[in-house]
Amino acid sequence: MQTRELTLKEVDIAYDFLKDYISLSYEEFEDKIYDLRHNSYKMLGMFHKDVLIAYCGVNVMSTLQTPKSLWVYE
């Protein structure tokens, strides 16, 4: 198994994995991913034999109270 960040070229892989759990068309999903990337959103995936088996959307950010924190969205 391999866990890694998905690239923007792999948005379709993320969408295929999530499409049954979200109410967005592919175009809406792609637009949101591109918008969220400007806010340090990262798509992480766990792959088994090149098949995505787990997805996690995260953001690494700093706040006044914490120098660095990880927010998990999906």
Compute the C-alpha angle 12/17/18, nearest 5°: 95
What is the residue whose two structure tokens read 């700093």? 62
pLDDT band at 9 (very low <50, low <70, confident <90, very high): very high
Name the maximum alpha-carbon separation found in the chain: 41
The pLDDT of residue 45 is 97
The pLDDT of residue 39 is 82
